[in-house]
Amino acid sequence: MTEIYTYLYIIFIVLIAISIVVSMIHYFKKKKDYDELVMRTKLWWGMAIIFSVSLIFSPTISLVSLGILCTLVLKEYFSMTKTRKQDRRIFIWAYLAIPLHFYWIYIGWYGMFIIFIPIYVFLFLPLVRIFKSGSIGFLNSVATTQWGLMLMVFGLSHLALFPKLTEISEHEYELAVQYGGWLVLFVVVLTQMNDVVHYLVSKKLGKHKVIPSANPNLTWEGFIGGLSAVIIMSYFLAPYLTPLSKSHSIVAAMLIGFGGFFGTTVVSVVRRNLTFNHEGVKEGIQDKFIKKIDSLTYTAPLFFHFVYYFYF
């Protein structure tokens, strides 16, 4: 328990230092260019508080919090889609699938977790749409709903599996006890670092944009800078928070670096496709949550399955 409190003290000291630096930058620069850093800092405080409380008291707190977050993200995603009144019924069933999906995590039923949304919900949603709303707009409605569930719920919910490794691990129970909760911190910290370094490098040095029509902040210079920072951080942080060897820590960092980049790119294109009309004019839709977790939709499942395969 002493080790847990020591790590938590370090986390909050680092957060305080980061908050001071970001506040000074925002105050003196007074430019919107740094609003992203302010937003990220607030997000980190929220994550740190939930992580600390769940680590000290019960992992169920983080499980419920993540379930609520997935619901809010999915709701925001649905609000961006162009749907008809008949499509709302399938959205309700999608929302109802979320608590059941997280219940499988709560009881440690990994086998059901891994197939519930990709198979059972995938096969069930078309039936709801056909019998109640007919065939008009069928493919668009079902595909949009399933895509949202897979990306915003299934991918993100892998974060809740790490504290449950003690129940789903087949071989290394002691490793699961020692590192389960800290693996969440590891992947979140590296993902956020990748995003922030990519953002800063792109702002200052970025010249070669990846997809300027979807996200002008994504540049190849930022990608290289973010990936390099994540590899260095992973190499030094992994021995304290994970069971990863040095070589595996580098591989994990590359998965997070590439995964974060791909996640941000894909979600940027999705947001662009949903929030811009045919004339290329942005519609009045606010995205409060999706932009904050875009990279985690890729890094969480990639990192979990990497660690689970080699160590648990």
- Looking up tokens 């305080």 gives 16
pLDDT digits (tens, 9 = 90+) for 14-73: 888 878 887 777 677 665 566 777 777 877 788 788 878 877 778 888 899 999 999 999
The domain ranges of the chain are 1-57, 60-164, 169-312
pLDDT digits (tens, 9 = 90+) for 3-17: 677 777 787 888 888
Amino acid 281: pLDDT:
44
Torsion on CA atoms 194, 66, 268, 230, rounded to nearest 10: 10
pLDDT digits (tens, 9 = 90+) for 88-118: 888 999 999 999 999 999 999 999 999 999 9
State the average pLDDT over residues 145-152: 93
CB 70 within 8 A of CB 98: yes
State the average pLDDT over residues 126-155: 85
- At residue 158 the predicted structure's pLDDT band, cuts being 50, 70 and 90, is very high
Amino acid 234: pLDDT:
95
Are β-strands 209-211 and 215-219 bridged in parallel, bridged antiparallel, or unpaired?
A: antiparallel
Residue 11: partners with Cβ closer than 8 Å, 6 or more residues away: 48, 52, 185
Amino acid 278: pLDDT:
44
For residue 268, give the nearest of 223, 198, 226, 210 by alpha carbon.
Answer: 210
State the average pLDDT over residues 289-296: 87
* Structure tokens, 168: 């789903």
Render 145-180 in DSSP notation, one character per residue: HHHHIIIIIIIGGGGGGGGGHHHH-SS-HHHHHHHH
pLDDT digits (tens, 9 = 90+) for 243-284: 999 999 999 999 999 999 999 999 888 888 777 544 444 555
Q: Is 199's pLDDT higher than 80?
A: yes
108: left (phi over 0), alpha (psi -120 to 50) or beta: left
Measured in degrees and rounded to the nearest 5, phi and psi for residue 289 equal -110, -40
Q: What is the mean pLDDT of the chain?
A: 85
